[in-house]
């Protein structure tokens, strides 16, 4: 039996990168997975990969920055699955620019997706979790939310906001056996880091004591820990998975 045997997990941003790695790792640990992505194709691709591991999967296309659609999707998920045990808020976007040039649209897009989207889903599943007297919430933040980064004021604010959201939810819901934690990845090999040139990569590696980028599976393993039996007594925490970048 896996650590998450027959539990139902919902993962946002499941279409690629960290989200897909979490969805597949959960499936390997016995969970059935609801895959959310902005596009139907990406959601279906992730769900198909979960099914290949012998677990049930559901695919939903939704832009989590749209609160109304997100609430509708949450209701549809519960109707389809009957329950949800684990919620992973991973969906995120970047719109990088220096503060003096950053548009209001770039600010709103990042905050609405990265922070408001997580808020909407946490709110949608709070009542079901409370009725179950059980639930695990994992918010994917970033080391950028801990240390900031030039040209990413919007992204840093959204990821720092997730940490505050996480700690507040943990305090509100702990009495009902619901945990809420955050994972703060460092520089992970994804589509975004693939666009960096060699000089940029060298500069990043110079900041990392382990002298290597992480991979999505590193974050997935951390998510399994927080969602599984080992995370039973952990709540309101930020687990940095960053090769020692933030100490």
> Of 32, 155, 183, 227, which is the active-site residue?
155
* φ, ψ dihedrals at 152, nearest 5°: -135, 40
On whether residue 203 sits in a domain, the answer given is: yes
- CA-to-CA separations, 70 to 106, 131, 155, 218, 224, in angstroms, rounded: 21, 21, 21, 28, 24
Beta strand 135-140 pairing with 8-12: unpaired
CA distances from 217 to 32, 112, 142 (A): 18, 26, 15
246 lies in a domain? no
Kindly state the DSSP code that residue 187 receives in the 8-state scheme.
Answer: S
Report yes or no on 175 lying in a domain.
yes
Please report whether residue 147 resides in a domain.
yes
Domain containing residue 143: 8-239
pTM as predicted: 0.96
Domain for residue 3, yes or no? no
155 noted as active-site residue: yes
Quote the number of domains for the chain: 1
Specify if 244 maps to a domain: no
Domain-embedded: residue 2? no
Domain-embedded: residue 230: yes
The CATH number of residue 155's host domain is 3.40.50.720
**Rounded to an integer, what distance in angstroms lies between the CA atom of residue 243 and that of residue 218?**
10
**247 residues of the chain, pLDDT tens digit each:** 699 999 999 999 999 999 999 999 999 999 999 999 999 999 999 999 999 999 999 999 999 999 999 999 999 999 999 999 999 999 999 999 999 999 999 999 999 999 999 999 999 999 999 999 999 999 999 999 999 999 999 999 999 999 999 999 999 999 999 999 999 999 999 876 777 788 888 888 999 999 999 999 999 999 999 999 999 999 999 999 999 999 9
């Amino acid at each position: 039996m896996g650590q998450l045997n027959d539990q139902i997990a919902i993962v946002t941003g499941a279409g690629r990168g960290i989200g897909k790695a979490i969805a597949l790792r959960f499936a390997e640990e016995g969970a059935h997975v609801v895959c959310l992505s902005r596009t139907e194709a990406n959601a279906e691709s992730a769900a198909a990969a979960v099914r290949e591991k012998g677990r049930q999967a559901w695919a939903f296309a939704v832009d989590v920055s749209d609160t109304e659609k997100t609430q509708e999707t949450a209701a549809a998920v519960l109707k389809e699955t009957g329950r949800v045990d684990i919620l992973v808020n991973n969906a995120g976007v970047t719109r990088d620019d220096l503060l003096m040039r950053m548009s209001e649209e770039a600010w709103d897009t990042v905050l609405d997706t990265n922070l408001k989207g997580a808020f909407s889903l946490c709110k949608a599943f709070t009542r079901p979790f409370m009725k179950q007297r059980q639930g695990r919430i994992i918010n994917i933040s970033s080391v950028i939310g801990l240390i900031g980064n030039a040209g990413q004021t919007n992204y840093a604010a959204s990821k720092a906001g997730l940490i505050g959201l996480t700690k507040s939810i943990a305090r509100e819901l702990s009495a009902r056996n619901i945990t809420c934690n955050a994972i703060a990845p460092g520089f992970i090999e994804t589509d975004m880091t693939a666009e960096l040139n060699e000089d940029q990569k060298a500069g990043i590696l110079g900041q990392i004591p382990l002298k290597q980028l992480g991979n999505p599976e590193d974050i997935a393993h951390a998510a399994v820990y927080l969602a599984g039996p080992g995370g039973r007594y952990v709540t309101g925490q930020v687990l940095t998975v960053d090769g020692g970048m933030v100490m």
